[in-house]
Amino acid sequence: MGQLKLLVQVAFRNLFASWVNVIIGGIILFGTVLVVVGGAVVDSLDESMSRSIIGSVAGHLQVYSEKSKDSLALYGKMGGEADLRVIERFSDIKKVLEQHPNVKTVVPMGTNSTLLMSGNTVDLTLARLRDLYKQAAAGETPGLRAQIDSLKSHVRQMIALLEKDLERRNAIAAENAMDPADLRALERARTPEFWDGFEKDPLASLELLENRIAPLVTDGDMIPLRYLGTDLVNFQKTFDRMRIVDGTAVPEGQRGLLLPKFSYEEFYKLKTARRLDLIKEARDVNHRKIADDPELQRRLKENQTQTRELLFQLDPLKTQQAIARLQKALGSQETELEKLLVAFFTMDDTNFDTRYQQFYAELVPLLDLYRLRLGDELTITAFTRTGYARSANVKVYGTFDFTGMEKSQLAGSLSLMDLITFRELYGYLTVDQKDELEKLQAASGVTDVKREDAEAALFGEDSTLVAETASGSIDVDAQLEGVSQARQQQEQAPRKYTQQDIDDGVVLHAAVMLKNPDMLEQTLVELQEASKKAGLPLKVVSWHQASDLVGQIILVAKLVLYAAVFITFVVAVVIINNAVMMATLQRVREIGTLRAIGAQRGFVLGMVLLETTVLGLVFGAAGALLGTLAVKGLGVMGIPAFHESLYFFFSGPRLFPTLQASNIITALVIVLGVSAFSTFYPAYLATRVSPLQAMQTDE
């Protein structure tokens, strides 16, 4: 103990005795700060991302069939959806999973994706006109006739604008001249005779416009739709970060679709309005300037050159209103709407905010701000599990987002669909289809025959499947009358689905929420064992595994941190080794004198090692203190998400790092280990110096 006390005194005495020690201390301090701050940020990022994934779709655990070809990937895989085997009855796995004392709830799920063709402005207008004519067939009213005449004049104006647009296009690129058949159709649609005879056969006239004129307008889009079929009521109760933004939730027991607010704004909003929104956000949130930002300038230029989507939406009456409002806003006497729009969208940092408010106050009331309105039915065509296309009409009830992740593309890419419709699109019979099939079988006298009895039923003496019949003996209308009436009743009063309908059907996977998330790993193992005992071929995975590539991002962040720490300390080892070597050579005479008066080699070795250890502790503690202060400061201010993609990983607009004791302990252990390792060789050399040789040395 006396020797140890002496060595500690010597170590503290030599702490700042040489500039070499200051260099070594600076390296240790920097490394400690890096480990403390980097570790705290990465751990906080891991925690934030887990909140995003767990709170938006994954739950703490996910279960799916172990017979699946691919692993579950909640956010999709490169090249499409994961190939999962279906779980035939959700109620079977729900019963087993909910028996575990740590399981709070189980939510059925299934994901799929498709592409939707968004009709262009002419398509949408013609569709509304067709609907009005269908209503008029049941009884025309003065109000209905006024709407029809207004839309007809709107279509005529669209055709005039389209003809002008095509003339400019053909003048620029003669090789892209119109097809002669389309040209004849356009010329016919421009004649007064066509419109004078429109009312004689409106549906035939609409067919010409839909098939020949509408395709000439190229502002339709292919919109990606990735949807999650689930028990919508249970989903909203389980994932409490979800909130309805616009519209309403899908009524319990009804079919319906909820679109993510992010995707609704991105894909269905008027492109001109969306560009203005993005510019305003960049200016207000990120403090970017139009004058200095090429991207903002590009968006403004697109608004100036792509005014057609606005022109096509305005009928003659609204066109005059728009001209009057723009003349007032601009103080202009210009009478051509297109030129007024170009002048209006000539914006800079001084007039942007005013023009932005004027756009929404004056022009938007004259326009359809969204191509798809809440309450409309969306026709979704998707590929089933066997590869053929299937369609379903689904009502869009509203939009939703997850609190704190409103601007996240990852969190805003998945639409929510009722599980019944999902099963239909995935190729399984729904309750309605089963009922309809049973009624068809009853009406047509179809009999089920087992495979082993098929030959006897067809060719046996008592065959019941072969009968003589005469032409016209089957009254198809009479046979199908009941089915037709049932379908009409279903369309008028949609069926309300029960919880049993939801549970007694197929799912692809299910989310499991736990009462105590700290027991995740233990619960995972126990649920896996329970499913095997129940004879269910299930695979249970954590949220981290279920998120696939997204979940690996935090691993990449940790690897980057560890690589930076490793490189820093490799450099530190070399520098500390050389520095201690130089310091040891400068103290050869001192070491020799100590040896001459009786100091053993172990004493010399301990002295050199302890000096570096004390140096590491002092500067390491200082680095830990600075790192702690830095993390505390970041915890108050937060690290801003400078890009929308980071909202998901930060679980909000800012990441607020928190410090754990493990971050400081890890940093000090690494620092002390590196210091001792770097010093061992120079200390060993110091013990090999003989007293006589050292005392004869001049330096």
Give the pLDDT confidence of 371-417 residue by residue, as tens digits.
888 998 888 988 887 778 888 899 999 999 998 888 888 788 899 99
- Torsions phi, psi for 639 (to 5 deg): -100, 115
Paired with 391 in beta bridges are 381
pLDDT attached to residue 580: 65
Closest of 283, 287, 435, 268 to residue 368, by C-alpha: 268
* Contact between 404 and 412 (Cβ < 8 Å): no
Other C-beta atoms within 10 Å of 430: how many? Answer: 21
The contacts of residue 325 (CB under 8 Å, 6+ apart) are 362, 363
Closest of 584, 585, 592, 586 to residue 608, by C-alpha: 584
**Across 14-43, average pLDDT:** 76
**Across 294-322, average pLDDT:** 89
The contacts of residue 199 (CB under 8 Å, 6+ apart) are none
Residue 587 is classified by DSSP as T
* 382-388 own/partner pairs: CB under 8 Å, 24+ apart: 382/112, 382/113, 382/114, 382/425, 382/426, 383/114, 384/425, 384/426, 384/427, 385/86, 385/426, 385/427, 386/427, 388/427
pLDDT attached to residue 649: 76
* Contact between 425 and 388 (Cβ < 8 Å): no
Question: How far apart (Å, rounded) are the C-alpha atoms in residues 174 and 171?
Answer: 6
Closest of 279, 261, 257 to residue 352, by C-alpha: 279
Instruction: Say whether pLDDT at 431 is over 60.
Output: no
pLDDT attached to residue 480: 47
The contacts of residue 321 (CB under 8 Å, 6+ apart) are 366
- Choice among 219-233, 458-472, 509-523 with the minimum mean pLDDT: 458-472
Paired with 108 in beta bridges are 510
- What distances in angstroms separate CA 475 from CA 157, 320, 439, 471, one per listed residue? 50, 59, 16, 10
3-class secondary-structure state, position 224: strand
Paired with 654 in beta bridges are 640
**Across 46-73, average pLDDT:** 88
**Banded pLDDT at 132 (limits 50, 70, 90):** confident
Helix or strand holding residue 557 (H, E): helix 549-586
3-class secondary-structure state, position 465: coil
HSE-CB at 464 with a 13 A cutoff on CA atoms is 7
pLDDT attached to residue 65: 92
Question: How far apart (Å, rounded) are the C-alpha atoms in residues 112 and 389?
Answer: 13
More confident residue, 490 or 187: 187
**Banded pLDDT at 442 (limits 50, 70, 90):** low
Closest of 224, 251, 229 to residue 57, by C-alpha: 229
**Banded pLDDT at 637 (limits 50, 70, 90):** confident
Of the chain, the percentage scoring pLDDT greater than 70 comes to 74
Note the pTM of the prediction, 2 decimals.
0.74
Instruction: Say whether pLDDT at 209 is over 60.
Output: yes
Question: Using one digit for the tens of pLDDT, what is the confidence trace for 356-374?
Answer: 999 999 999 999 899 888 9
**Across 44-57, average pLDDT:** 84
**Banded pLDDT at 354 (limits 50, 70, 90):** very high
**Across 667-679, average pLDDT:** 76
For all residues of the chain together, what is the average pLDDT?
A: 80
Other C-beta atoms within 10 Å of 450: how many? Answer: 7
- Choice among 98-112, 594-608, 631-645 with the minimum mean pLDDT: 594-608
Question: Using one digit for the tens of pLDDT, what is the confidence trace for 322-337?
Answer: 999 999 999 999 999 9
- Choice among 6-10, 120-124, 371-375, 619-623 with the minimum mean pLDDT: 6-10
pLDDT attached to residue 18: 64
pLDDT attached to residue 296: 94
Other C-beta atoms within 10 Å of 255: how many? Answer: 25
- Choice among 2-6, 114-118, 613-617, 652-656 with the minimum mean pLDDT: 2-6
Question: Using one digit for the tens of pLDDT, what is the confidence trace for 534-585?
Answer: 999 899 999 888 887 776 676 776 677 677 767 766 776 677 667 666 666 5
- Choice among 107-116, 459-468, 579-588 with the minimum mean pLDDT: 459-468
The contacts of residue 267 (CB under 8 Å, 6+ apart) are 118, 221, 223, 224
Of the chain, the percentage scoring pLDDT greater than 90 comes to 29
Please provide the DSSP assignment of 98-130 as one string.
TTSTTEEEEEEEEEEEEEEEE--HHHHHHHHHH
**Across 523-529, average pLDDT:** 94
pLDDT attached to residue 81: 80
Question: How far apart (Å, rounded) are the C-alpha atoms in residues 169 and 163?
Answer: 10
Most confident of 8-17, 112-121, 502-511, 634-643: 502-511
Question: How far apart (Å, rounded) are the C-alpha atoms in residues 570 and 217?
Answer: 63
